[in-house]
Structure 1
Amino acid sequence: MPSLDLLPTELLLMIIDCLDAERDINVLVRTNKLLYLRLNWHLYRHNARKGNGEVLLWAVNYARISTIRHLLAAGAKPRAVYSRLSIKAPLIHWVVHGMCGSGATRIMPLRRAAKRRSVPGTGSLAARNAVLRVLLQYGADINERDSNWYSILHHAAESGQETLFRLLVGYGADIHAKSFEGHSVLHSAANAGCTGIIRFLVNRGLDVNAYIGYGKPILHYAVRNRSTAMIHLLIRSGADPNARNSMDWTAIDTVIFGSSWPAKQRLTTLRALIDNGADINARNSRGETLLHRLAAMNDSFLLVPELISLRADIEAQCNQGWTVLQRAIAAGSLEMFHVLLENGVDVNSFRGRGETPMHTAVAFGDKPEFIEGLYEKGANLYAKDWQGRDALMRAHNRRQSDPDTGYVFTTLILDLRIREWNRVERLRNRELRRLRTADFKRAVWGLNGVPIHESDTGSEDS
């Protein structure tokens, strides 16, 4: 039987064309060294023409430079799009994805690459640099976008690799690229918490106050990453410390409402924001401060002492005239109520409609503890609102809408008034006793402290 080596190349190519599976072609090519040298290129050509591009993607991920060159020379598309994990990205993007792994944020360590029997240096920057050069040489576009309109710089910034990022910029990647939602490269760097890339972009004039499409400023990303260094960098570069997102939150609101951090870390981030100009008493469209919103949350009273230590205003009023104390009473937050009292809130302050916290406790409160707590801190039971009604009259009016609660409050206020009257009477009687004692002493001892009978005797002897 004649050897395959003796067959003309044309006949061997006809045999290859009749083989549909790459596995069969590979078996033929690897029959011996001579056939490998003659037909190996045709194996790459078959894969480039009829394959799904998986071999090229594999070669890019593992930095197999010779394989990439063979496939591209055989007709593989350098701008092909590949789908993985809901991502449709051009081939050149997989230089970053392969470097960082699927969904990973770090370069693959060389030890792990060695355990996987990859080519030495697969995860190194030099290997990826070589892949980039080959792809660009064969017509790949460094600024091509994926299905979400993210550029290769977005992915490099999210990986947190500053050296790789600078390499891509050197190849002409656009630092001003934005996604469909307006997500800039700077947003990606802030999301990854990479201060070096942020400094690199800021020095090149990128807008640190840019918003993405759904209304989130870059500073909020830094806050979410708990990076005080990034907060300092962005604000000193011109970022607005009081910028709001689409939910009308400032960066401070993001720390309080958008996280479940340990108290120490939250306080550190708050101090970093306030030290750089963030307003802890900033108001939303309804004129509410941070404390107003916390007062309506029954489980947030532990945050209030921290905020007060940072100069939060516990006497602030919203557009409707509600104070923080009145908001806590109306929300039924007894813990918040006690925290505010312990921190010296004014229990007799009048809000916009001329109502004191005692009026609010009677009209909107659901617990008698509010009334008792205010009374113990010196609240005036006889203060009148803008319609001339005191707390007892408000309690009587409440009996019409809520008979049970109104009756309890009416009884309680009457009891407190009696207690107040008795206290005043005791003070009055004590003062009367003091005055009577003083009058008696003056009558007995005289004005100069000398007994009257002695002064009279002395005058008679003379």
Structure 2
Amino acid sequence: MTGILPRELCACEITAPEMSRKRGADPGAPPELLPERKKTCWGILTSQGSWADRSPLHEAASQGRLLALRTLLAQGYHANIVTIDHVSPLHEACLSGHVACVRALLNAGANVNAATIDGVTPLYNCCTSGSVGCLELLLQNGAHTHTTHAHFPSALHEACKRGNSQCVEILLSHGADPDYEVSHLGSPLYMSCLHRHTECSKILLHTGARVNVGRGADSPLHVAVRAGGADLVSLLLEYGADVNIRDGNNQRAVELAATGGQTQQLLQSFEVSPRTLCQLCRLQIRSLIGRSRLKLLPVLPLPPLLTDYLDHT
């Protein structure tokens, strides 16, 4: 490696970022550790686990310093340089939402599907930060919407957890499976209901996600009721949620609702006046059409009124 690094790129001048670069959901480094980190340069940050070998390229990508990033690449830093946890500069740029840095790294040959030792990909980090620009750029350059192992983190689950509805919509439009289950998380719909993100749930259901698939015996309706989201409960019922499913404790959704609350009243009202024939027909027709063909509804030679009816609009 040749050339002299600018003073701003000196490792000893680097401060800790606001978010952990190992996992987007982890807390940042405690303030009291910052002076020690400056002294030890790229030493292991014990409060976050192994954080060794963090290079100036990682810092430039994290902070969105495009000129510094290009200078480092020109001086010989490899775009796919990784830390001991296999965090790449591309992971950093995506987690911070720096589109220009992502583009520069991809042009320099960065691996768009690089995974950390925990299975976190740059695409996952885009969903953590909610950066639509970075997400689209990765997908245009061959990012996979599906993970290679069932226990690895899922970008779609992360977008649902964070309530980043645009990311959810883009991932689904690029072939992400709305029913993809992660053993300890359940389905994407379950995740969005758990965190009370109605818009994400609506996008998933509109795309054809199975309304009763949650986590084990726990359905999306169960978790929506526990969260106290009457709007979510109403949405799930509209898309065919089964009120008679019992969770792991052998309880129905109505039994989990707060006494006298809006959610309980909604479920009790539904049980005494079940779905209309109009609703049942729509659910059955959508089921027969199949999830993969629901997107073709607008192009069918049908009257707009019928198309809107089938499309829940």
Shorter-chain TM-score category?
Answer: 0.5 to 0.7
Paired residue for 2:221, among 291, 297, 303?
291
Q: How far apart are 1:294 and its partner, in Å?
A: 5.2
Paired residue for 1:300, among 228, 237, 243?
228
CA contact (8 A) 1:183 1:212 kept: no
Q: How far apart are 1:268 and its partner, in Å?
A: 2.0
The answer for the alignment partner of 1:253 in structure 2 is 190
Q: How large is the RMSD of aligned CA atoms in angstroms?
A: 3.8
The answer for the alignment partner of 1:341 in structure 2 is 268
* 1:245 counterpart SS class: coil
The answer for the alignment partner of 2:281 in structure 1 is none
Query: Is structure 2 residue 148 aligned with structure 1 residue 219?
Result: no
CA contact (8 A) 2:145 2:175 kept: yes
Once residues 105 and 69 of structure 2 are traced to their aligned partners in structure 1, the CA distance between those partners, rounded to angstroms, is 10
Paired residue for 2:207, among 261, 276, 284?
276
Could you tell me which runs of 5 or more consecutive residues in structure 2 were left unpaired when the two chains were aligned: 1-6, 16-40, 275-313
CA contact (8 A) 1:60 1:131 kept: no
Length-normalised TM-score, structure 1: 0.44
* 2:42 counterpart SS class: strand
CA contact (8 A) 2:187 2:214 kept: no
Paired residue for 1:129, among 44, 49, 70?
70
Cα separation, partners in 2 of 1:88 and 1:345, compared to 1, 3 Å:
same
* 1:181 counterpart SS class: coil
Cα separation, partners in 2 of 1:312 and 1:239, compared to 1, 3 Å:
same
CA contact (8 A) 1:267 1:306 kept: no
The answer for the alignment partner of 1:22 in structure 2 is none
Q: How far apart are 1:292 and its partner, in Å?
A: 4.1
The answer for the alignment partner of 1:95 in structure 2 is 57
Once residues 304 and 152 of structure 1 are traced to their aligned partners in structure 2, the CA distance between those partners, rounded to angstroms, is 38
Once residues 301 and 229 of structure 1 are traced to their aligned partners in structure 2, the CA distance between those partners, rounded to angstroms, is 21
Give the percent of matched residue pairs that are identical in Structure 1 and Structure 2.
18
The answer for the alignment partner of 2:121 in structure 1 is 184
Query: Is structure 2 residue 95 aligned with structure 1 residue 158?
Result: yes
Query: Is structure 2 residue 31 aligned with structure 1 residue 83?
Result: no
Q: How far apart are 1:84 and its partner, in Å?
A: 6.8
Q: How far apart are 1:144 and its partner, in Å?
A: 2.2
Q: How far apart are 1:317 and its partner, in Å?
A: 3.5
Q: Write out the 4+ residue segments of structure 1 that deviate beyond 6 Å after TM superposition.
A: none
Deviations 1:20-66 (A, max 9, x none): xxxxxxxxxxxxxxxxxxxxxxxxxxxxxxxxx999425899xxxxx
Q: How far apart are 1:237 and its partner, in Å?
A: 0.7
* 1:201 counterpart SS class: helix
Once residues 318 and 178 of structure 1 are traced to their aligned partners in structure 2, the CA distance between those partners, rounded to angstroms, is 38
Q: How far apart are 1:281 and its partner, in Å?
A: 2.4
Length-normalised TM-score, structure 2: 0.62
Once residues 149 and 129 of structure 2 are traced to their aligned partners in structure 1, the CA distance between those partners, rounded to angstroms, is 16
Q: Which has the higher contact order (CA 8 A, sep 6+)?
A: 2
More helix by proportion, 1 or 2?
1
Q: How far apart are 1:195 and its partner, in Å?
A: 2.0
Number of residue pairs matched by the alignment:
240
Choose 147-156 or 212-221, whichever is displaced more: 212-221
Q: How far apart are 1:158 and its partner, in Å?
A: 1.2
Cα separation, partners in 2 of 1:228 and 1:57, compared to 1, 3 Å:
same
CA contact (8 A) 1:57 1:94 kept: yes
Cα separation, partners in 2 of 1:141 and 1:203, compared to 1, 3 Å:
closer
Q: Which amino acid aligns with 1:310?
A: E
CA contact (8 A) 2:189 2:211 kept: yes
The answer for the alignment partner of 1:70 in structure 2 is none
Once residues 150 and 301 of structure 1 are traced to their aligned partners in structure 2, the CA distance between those partners, rounded to angstroms, is 37
Cα separation, partners in 2 of 1:159 and 1:278, compared to 1, 3 Å:
same
Matches within 5 A, 1:399-418: none
Matches within 5 A, 1:62-461: 82-83=42-43, 85=45, 86=48, 88-90=51-53, 93-98=55-60, 100-101=62-63, 107=64, 123=65, 125-134=66-75, 136=76, 140-210=77-147, 214-257=151-194, 259=195, 266-282=197-213, 284-286=215-217, 288-293=218-223, 297=226, 300=228, 302=230, 305-308=233-236, 310-318=238-246, 324=252, 328-329=254-255, 334-335=259-260, 337-345=264-272
Give 1 or 2 for the bigger CA radius of gyration: 1
Once residues 304 and 189 of structure 1 are traced to their aligned partners in structure 2, the CA distance between those partners, rounded to angstroms, is 26
Could you tell me which runs of 5 or more consecutive residues in structure 1 were left unpaired when the two chains were aligned: 1-52, 62-80, 102-106, 108-122, 348-462
Once residues 74 and 212 of structure 2 are traced to their aligned partners in structure 1, the CA distance between those partners, rounded to angstroms, is 54
